[in-house]
Amino acid sequence: MADLQVFTGTIVHSTDLEPMQILENMAVGVLDNKIVFVEPASELPNLKTKFKIQDTKNITLTQSQFLMPGFVDTHIHAPQFPNNGIHLDLPLLDWLENYTFPTEAKFADGDFARYVYGAAVDRLLRCGTTTASYFGSLHLEGTKILGDTVLARGQRALVGKVNMLMNCPSYYQEASVEDSLRETEELIVYIKNLKSDLVLPIVTPRFAPTCPKEQMKGLAQLAAKHDCHIQSHICESRSEIDWVQELFPWSTSYADVYDTVGLLTDKTVMAHGVWLKDEEVALLKEHGTGVAHCPNSNISLRSGLCDVQRLLRAGLRIGLGTDCSGGYSPSILNSLRQALLVSKTLSTMTEGYESITLKEAFRFATLGGAKVVRMEDRIGNFEVGKEFDALLVDTEATGTPLDIFLEDKTEEKIEKFLYNGDDRNILRVYVAGKKVVDQTRRSSSVIP
């Protein structure tokens, strides 16, 4: 059996009752992949007896450090990584055609896929994303490589082969409904055969405009057969919504299209939802479908200001998505900040509108995301019995952009990190109890 790891110091996480709970002088015990105790550090001697602890690995945090749950990115396109930070001059549909499809088409080349996916997963882990819900490209082999890459790097992930069969360029299009379903099933079986608790398949119709009804129905059946997650895009931009109405004239709404074909489930993640009508919100709620809020992308592609407060109040599960490369930043810290700014922008436009708080944005980034991908029984916060997906943050790590002063209280240090910190403050990243990133040398203080 592995040694028990005991972290002592400050922890911060979300619960259903409190968007941000800060606990100081705590001891968190981690055995193999799981959290076995979260108790005041003063209880440690008793805990050692209780758990018959002999060999422990003690990690004692300094006053500038804290432990928080890993970030969950509920919506990201791995093959769009080469485009992060470029090509944001066109709106969604033109952006897809001119920049995105040509880039994704390059993933027919396995070597290119290996090269980019390695860099992408490394970057995300460094940014503290311990769980990601990935869109791959439409290539079966390339998407298998994405699965292999996340497995090798130790990230927790949902991995999907993109499905698209109409209204896409001939050079980047699946061959037929039959081929699409066969390859998708092969990917599902391949990912399941990796036999990892951490990497799961996700059925990934790109969005309604690229998927004929028969294809979407078949994909929904595949998801049901294999008890899979599903992800797609919904109500992102106004021209996209008009197009969906033209393509599916029988439908009463965009959400109705997905509902009719059976794609709305309680394991479905729908990205954006900027322009959802009330009846569509109700449909998502009825099915238990979660929303990936992607504020950077929504602004960068000028899709719109998503009123996430409204979706939250309607009872939808909400997580954050970077939506790289529609959003230019791979960091969920950036999504968190943008979510706040969008919500505050909305509050300047509407009398009496209450914006979300920093603490709520923090919950979206962690526990909320875990709920969207339906992993809340395993990750999202530091409850005993959950798996230990965590970030060891140092607000005073060398060379980082935070100014911490002697007077700063713990809560203020945490807030400064959330607003101004970056990956250099994230000294260590743990997934399921295993250290997957270690840049301890950046610390101004020594930790074992």
Which residues of the shown chain bind ligand GUN in the complex (CB under 6 A)? 77, 92, 96, 100, 206-207, 233, 236, 297, 323, 326
The one-letter amino acid at 244: V
207 binds, among Fe ion, ligand GUN, none (CB under 5 to 8 A by kind): ligand GUN
Q: Which two tokens stand for residue 126?
A: 């460094």
- Positions in the binding site for Fe ion (CB under 5 A): 323
Which of ligand GUN, Fe ion, none does residue 174 bind to, with CB < 5 to 8 Å depending on kind?
Answer: none
Closest distance to ligand GUN from the beta carbon of 197 (Å): 28
Amino acid, res. 214: E
Which does residue 289 bind out of ligand GUN, Fe ion, none, counting CB within 5 to 8 angstroms by kind?
none
> Residue 34 or 87: which CB sits closer to ligand GUN?
87
Q: What's the Cα-to-Cα distance from 424 to each of 59, 123, 402, 417, 439, rounded to whole Å?
A: 19, 12, 10, 11, 8
Beta-bridge mates of residue 202: 229
Is 206 or 363 the residue whose CB approaches ligand GUN more closely?
A: 206
Side-chain half-sphere of 222: how many Cα atoms within 13 Å?
27
Q: Which is nearer to Fe ion, 323 or 415 (by Cβ)?
A: 323
Kindly tell me which of 59 and 271 has the beta carbon lying closer to Fe ion.
271
What CA–CA distance (Å, rounded) separates 16 from 305?
26
Least spacing, CB of residue 204 vs Fe ion, in Å? 10
Contact (Cβ atoms closer than 8 angstroms) between residue 120 and residue 83 = no
Report the C-alpha gap between 373 and 58 in whole angstroms: 32
- Least distance CB 237 / ligand GUN (angstroms): 8
- For residue 206, the one-letter residue type is R
* Angle made by CA atoms 309, 410, 33, in degrees to the nearest 5: 75
**Residue with Cβ nearer ligand GUN (130 or 303):** 303
State the nearest-atom distance from the C-beta of 283 to Fe ion, in Å.
Answer: 20
- Closer residue to Fe ion, CB minimum distance, 323 or 394: 323
Whole-angstrom distance, CA of residue 287 vs CA of residue 307: 20
Question: Smallest distance from the beta carbon of 183 to ligand GUN, in angstroms?
Answer: 18
- Residue of 31, 34, 33, 29 lying closest to 45 (CA atoms): 29
| Cα–Cα distance list, 247 to 213, 250, 270, 278, 298 (Å) | 10, 9, 19, 22, 23
State which residue, 8 or 300, has the beta carbon closest to ligand GUN: 300
- Provide the token pair at 371: 């709920």
- Minimum distance from residue 77 beta carbon to ligand GUN (Å): 5
206 binds, among ligand GUN, Fe ion, none (CB under 5 to 8 A by kind): ligand GUN
| C-alpha count within 13 angstroms, C-beta hemisphere, residue 135 | 31
In the bound state with ligand GUN, the residue whose beta carbon lies nearer, of 183 and 323, is 323
The entry of Fe ion, ligand GUN, none that residue 100 binds, CB within 5 to 8 Å by partner kind: ligand GUN
State the minimum distance, in angstroms, from the CB of residue 49 to ligand GUN. 54
Task: Tell me which of Fe ion, ligand GUN, none is bound by residue 157, counting a contact when its beta carbon lies within the kind-specific cut-off of 5 to 8 angstroms.
Answer: none
Tokens of 55: 């060999």
Contact of residue 236 among ligand GUN, Fe ion, none (CB under 5-8 Å per partner type): ligand GUN
Binding partner of residue 66 among Fe ion, ligand GUN, none, CB cut-off 5 to 8 Å per kind: none
Work out how close the CB of 128 gets to ligand GUN at its nearest, in angstroms, rounded to a whole number.
22
Sign of CA dihedral 109, 114, 115, 121: positive
